[in-house]
A and B are shown apart, each in its own frame.
Chain A
């Protein structure tokens, strides 16, 4: 089985988000970068499938050279090789085109992604890649079992889940509890240094959208504390001041 895992290189979930250059650029000073948490789940499931079924795992990132430590981490967790498409991922469709282009040349059985990236939260790339390759795309996928050429999955829906089956190849956008995040061990970290990381140039530069400016939400006002023995004051405030109940 050949599995492609597409990973993002994103600010750690505890990062303070701020912007520079008159709010036109993300301020990356002091920010730690990680594999997108959802992508990390996909990668963990891919590694489990490799252990149980045998698989060749390729990780793919569309990003500039600064993403390589994040890609190496994915190799340390258990991917066999990596591809970096050398371009800044400024538009989802552009990213989807790059991924589809690599996939067309490689016949992957599974293309695993996260349900969404945690920077732009688009939740779009897997659907776009599915359509570009004319393959089914399914998201958000909570569990994944492979039985021969069939994938059995559960997909989260509002208020529950549904059981889904489809033949490989497939494009999936994954989330928990598909697998537990894996922490690379020493051997993984050592071997990651020598695993192949191929850099390729992007196939097009067609941007459909352009981010012009960023904004931060207005600062939250002071919290009003209410005595635990006087909860009716809270009800009164919610009813008559906030008017939400």
Chain B
């Protein structure tokens, strides 16, 4: 068995979820793990994948892949998979990884399982546990074919950090014009912020904050916690906050170690996006708000009074 891991970089840094994927790859196969990275990434970053368990890194240093062209990514990864004779591809679930992995699965004839939450059970066959019903349940799936693709949910395994440097080789897949039939004309991205799906701490605001002009109380707390900001669906529907911050059933599913919900009632569709958080803090002025039932810690109070005090207390405890 041989494992290939697809890794993604964000602002020049390998994503934490990709380091989890490399660590996962090493844990399911003590042999050589090869990683593949596409687009411009610093060689030193790629070498550092060794610490999580990669022996080799195949680097496709093609400028056209600096943006996530789904078809081209799928072709390049499928070619690498065949080249290294891999039997398993591991990657992190993401807005790019997920659509790419589905195409690779068909190209290489692999079974694909997404939202994998822990290491497989190989005592009898190859059984993986995946999150279903938007985090409300799990399924144990028996993967039948020899070729497998596992797309991991965040926190499936801790990041290993004890390996040595990986060797980096350049890889030139044969990409056709057809692979670039979809053109990405422009990207708009929040820069410098902690990305919501990757964040370890998330502070989210709901309709209880009354308007976009009041978001500074949320942002200040997020800043002092080093957190990403999120919101409920009505908040993004009303354009108080951008759509990519919307958490829940129809938005981003987060798995942080701490989720702080402010002025959010806790509708089941919102909870669906946060139920894999390790700890949940709820701040709401209504003691009957359903969110308290899903919380570890709760404060009944007015967001505009509690948040500044809380931010101050966080700063004081640093």
The 10 tightest CB contacts between A and B, nearest first, are: A127-B102, A228-B301, A160-B189, A208-B111, A131-B106, A124-B102, A131-B103, A166-B182, A244-B258, A162-B187
| Residue-wise interface mask of B (132-145) relative to A, using a CB-CB cutoff of 8 A (1 in contact, 0 not) | 11111111111111
Shortest beta-carbon distance, A91 to chain B, in Å?
A: 9
Find out whether the CB atom of A231 lies under 8 angstroms from the CB atom of B258.
no
Q: Cβ of B87 < 8 Å from any Cβ of A? A: no
Find out whether the CB atom of A17 lies under 8 angstroms from the CB atom of B196.
no
Number of interface residues of A (CB under 8 A): 77
Question: In whole angstroms, how far apart are the Cα atoms of A164 and B279 in the complex?
Answer: 37
Question: In whole angstroms, how far apart are the Cα atoms of A74 and B69 in the complex?
Answer: 32
- Residues facing A in B120-166 (CB within 8 A) are 127, 129, 131-145
Residue in contact with B296 in the complex, picked from A167, A208, A224, CB distance below 8 Å: A224
| Residue-wise interface mask of A (219-245) relative to B, using a CB-CB cutoff of 8 A (1 in contact, 0 not) | 011011111100110111111001011
Q: Which residues of A contact B198 (CB under 8 A)?
A: 158
Q: Which residues of B contact A37 (CB under 8 A)?
A: 249-250
Q: Give the tally of cross-chain contacts (CB within 8 A).
A: 266
Find out whether the CB atom of A131 lies under 8 angstroms from the CB atom of B102.
yes
Find out whether the CB atom of A208 lies under 8 angstroms from the CB atom of B144.
yes
Find out whether the CB atom of A128 lies under 8 angstroms from the CB atom of B68.
no
Q: Cβ of A136 < 8 Å from any Cβ of B? A: yes
Taking Cβ atoms with an 8 Å cutoff, the residues of B that contact A are 10, 67-68, 70-71, 74, 93-96, 98-103, 105-107, 111-115, 127, 129, 131-145, 181-190, 193, 195-198, 200-201, 225, 237, 242-244, 249-250, 257-258, 268-269, 272, 275, 278-279, 281-282, 292-302, 305-306, 309-310, 313-314, 316-317
Find out whether the CB atom of B144 lies under 8 angstroms from the CB atom of A121.
no
**Residues of B contacting A: mostly:** mixed
Find out whether the CB atom of A121 lies under 8 angstroms from the CB atom of B310.
no
The contact sample of 5 A-B pairs, CB cut-off 8 A, is A118-B134, A127-B100, A131-B102, A164-B185, A231-B310
Q: Which residues of A contact B278 (CB under 8 A)?
A: 242, 244
Q: Cβ of A186 < 8 Å from any Cβ of B? A: no
Q: Which residues of B contact A86 (CB under 8 A)?
A: none
Find out whether the CB atom of A212 lies under 8 angstroms from the CB atom of B102.
no
Q: Which residues of A contact B295 (CB under 8 A)?
A: 223
Given contacts A126-B102, A131-B106, A160 and B139 within 8 Å (CB-CB): no
Find out whether the CB atom of B184 lies under 8 angstroms from the CB atom of A123.
no
Given contacts A118-B249, A217-B136, A224-B297, A93 and B183 within 8 Å (CB-CB): no
Shortest beta-carbon distance, A125 to chain B, in Å?
A: 7
Q: Which residues of B contact A146 (CB under 8 A)?
A: none
Q: Which residues of B contact A9 (CB under 8 A)?
A: none
Given contacts A121-B131, A208-B145, A244 and B275 within 8 Å (CB-CB): no
Among A131, A140, A173, A239, residue most surrounded by chain B Cβ atoms (within 10 Å): A131
